[in-house]
Amino acid sequence: MAVRDDDCGRRALTERWSRTTGSSYGTPGLALVRGAGATVVDDTGRSYLDLVGGGLANVLGHAHPAVVNAVSTQAATLGQVSSRDVAESTVLLGELLLALTGPGRVVFTDSGAEANETAFQVSRLTGRSQVVATTGAFHGRTMGTLAFTGQPGSTHPFRTLPDTVTQVPFGDVQALRTAVSDATAMVILEAIQGENGVVVPPPGYLAAARTICTAAGALLVLDEAQTALGRTGHWFHHQSEGIAPDFVTLAQGLGGGLPLGACLAFGAAADLLATGAHGTTVGGSPLSCAAGLAVVRTIAGTGLLDHVKRIGDRLRTGIEAVAHPLLDEVRGAGLLLGIAFTEPVAVPVTDWLRAAGFLVDAVQPAVIRLAPPLVLTEEQADAFVGAFARALVADPGPRAAARLLVPGAA
């Protein structure tokens, strides 16, 4: 049967999506057709400020010239190579990541779930099988990573999952100490729990986890899918705590929008990774790694770490200054911020903001996540703060929604 694009092209993209696509994310709100920096344009020609950053993947924003050039050049030079051969961009990116962290090894993957799956699989080579993870955590949607994802909504439909996992409350040092034993192969933690509503652990928690793991001979895996590569104003968020994990897993921003994840291992864990226990056909493809190189070089070469700290502070203080009774707190670090409400109004506020031209993520019923491209400008940050203030103060929408959602709410 001949298939022509214009057979379907007359219907709205979102309608076509609903007819054809399976996804756990629900029907898309917008059909986006192009972007530049932190701005995107939908199929009606309307512009939005994108504070979601392509699910945190577009760290340099849309169509950044460095990524466009690197990918175009790589695509015009050398495509995928077999797993028996290697291309320079893959080696260079691995070397750069290790230069930013410490001597070790890297296995590239296509996604964050696979990066965590790699650590999980390799941790079995210690001869131990038990895993300690945290409630509220999100680590991916493979059967292995679902087992240590602490969000029942994501995991329950797929039971029975690997049963070697103990969940403890995130941020609770004593609970971690009690759960970790000499049967524990690995402890896996997010540096900041992103999907759970940008939950920041108490100061010293990651350092305590390091001490507990070392004492028990367990591997410490830090899932930095959301927090690495400048997102919090540091190359890796754990570096701000001065700790040395055994594994760090990456995804999201690493490929600058192309599919790319990585599992980094240090010390004895690097020897486990060197066994070649894990692999994937296009993980670390020359194309994705060319994009990754452009991302890392641009962050380093344009002072983006300092920029993130400055713009992140500006956003946070601007939002805090809105000082509305619905606003509980602003938390997070750099440009990974959670706006927590006193009522479950994240969805109506997100809808109002979208109608006003600002894309944010209602990551929990009472929390909006902001994870804009790192290149967000001062003017864009201020424009968002202004819109947010109007959403809460001037416009009755969210407050009316709050009254609807929470009987008795002001």
Ligand X SMILES: Cc1ncc(COP(=O)(O)O)c(C=O)c1O
Q: For ligand X, give the closer residue by CB, 61 or 194.
A: 194
Do 292 and 92 contact (CB within 8 A), yes or no? no
Does 194 contact ligand X by CB under 6 A? yes
CB distance 375 to 37 below 8 Å: yes
Q: By CB under 6 A, tell whether 131 contacts ligand X.
A: no
Bridge partners of residue 331, in order along the sequence: 338
Cβ 266 to ligand X shortest distance, Å: 19
Counting contacts by CB under 6 A, is residue 201 touching ligand X? Answer: no
| Nearest distance in Å: CB 70, ligand X | 21
Q: How far is the CB of 4 from ligand X (least distance, A)?
A: 33
186 - beta bridge partners? 131, 219
Choose the stretch contacting ligand X; rule: CB under 6 A; options: 3-11, 27-35, 138-146, 180-188. 138-146
Q: Which of 38, 51, 71, 113 binds ligand X (CB under 6 A)?
A: 113
Minimal distance in Å, beta carbon 83 to ligand X? 20
Task: Name the one range near ligand X by CB under 6 A: 62-70, 108-116, 278-286, 309-317.
Answer: 108-116
Judged by beta carbon, residue 90 or residue 116, the one nearer ligand X is 116
Candidates 6-14, 158-166, 189-197, 366-374: pick the segment binding ligand X (CB under 6 A): 189-197
**Half-sphere exposure at residue 407, Cβ-oriented, CA atoms within 13 angstroms:** 0
CB 149 within 8 A of CB 165: no
Q: What are phi and psi for residue 5, nearest 5 degrees?
A: -55, -40
User: Which residue among 54, 140, 233, 253 contacts ligand X (CB under 6 A)?
Assistant: 140
Q: What is the DSSP letter of 120?
A: H
| DSSP track, 247-311 | EEEE-GGGGBTB--EEEEEETHHHHHHTT-----SSTT-HHHHHHHHHHHHHHHHTTHHHHHHHH
Tokens of 333: 């670090």
- 247 in Cβ contact with 264 (< 8 Å): yes
Q: Which of residues 216-235 bind ligand X (CB under 6 A)?
A: 223, 225-226
What residues contact residue 374 under an 8 Å CB cut-off, 6+ apart?
59, 60, 61, 230, 231, 299, 304, 307, 308, 335
Q: Which residue is nearest to ligand X, using beta carbons?
A: 112
Per CB under 6 A, which region of 34-42, 111-119, 177-185, 365-373 contacts ligand X? Answer: 111-119
Among 50, 195, 246, 343, binds ligand X (CB under 6 A): 195
Q: How many CB atoms within 10 Å of residue 46? A: 10
Binding part of the chain for ligand X, among 23-31, 106-114, 303-311, 344-352 by CB under 6 A, reads: 106-114
Which DSSP symbol is given to 69?
A: H
Nearer to ligand X, 110 or 343 (CB): 110
Does residue 313 come out as left (phi exceeding 0), alpha (psi in the -120 to 50 range) or beta? alpha
Residue 348: CB minimum distance to ligand X, A: 23
User: Is 237 near ligand X (CB under 6 A)?
Assistant: no
Q: Is 138 in the site for ligand X (CB under 6 A)?
A: yes
112 binds ligand X per the rule CB under 6 A: yes
Q: Does 50 bind ligand X (CB under 6 A)?
A: no
Comparing CA positions, the residue from 400, 355, 391, 295 lying closest to residue 71 is 295
CA distance 331 to 373: 18
Q: Does 251 bind ligand X (CB under 6 A)?
A: yes
**Please, what is the minimum distance in Å from the beta carbon of residue 56 to ligand X?**
7
The footprint of ligand X (CB under 6 A) covers 111-113, 116, 138-140, 190, 194-195, 223, 225-226, 251, 261
